[in-house]
Structure 1
Amino acid sequence: MYRPKGLFSAPLRAWMSRDLAPLVREVVNDGELVRSGFLRRDALRRMVAEDAAGQQDFSKHLWHVLTLEYWYRGAASGPGRAP
């Protein structure tokens, strides 16, 4: 009760390595941003591999890639159409 407020952060590392891993693979292998040339597949694969190996925590970066990918799909599909 007398301690300062604590921060809450989403468990991105766990999400990226387990729950969202299939989506990450799909975006890296066949994402719109990769196909259109906005993101480099080899760089994304390297990030995923280093994250999975525990060499570097890229979970926040991968989260941003996922959200950008799904935003882009929605924006590219135009108004009133499903992504």
Structure 2
Amino acid sequence: MAVTDDQMAEALMALAEARGTGKTFCPSEVARRLADDWRPLMPELRRIAAALPLEATQKGKPVDPRRARGPIRLSLDQSRAGSRG
């Protein structure tokens, strides 16, 4: 069964909200919850994360999750939190 964009978005936001403000997570945590073969989901999760009220960081600095190479961390972006739709 294929994982939809909506399922990925919901899972990303659920984990971010469960962690709370100021706490980060790796997108692979979401991918592993969604599929046994999780690695192919990673580019899609990064694409979807870019459209959500999430902040992506790498070594503590903000990055575009679609363009960053290597591991990133995601967290609730308080400046965009009200724009979730």
Give your verdict on TM over 0.5: no
Between structure 1 and structure 2, the one with the greater Rg is 1
TM-score calculated relative to the size of structure 2: 0.27
TM-score calculated relative to the size of structure 1: 0.28
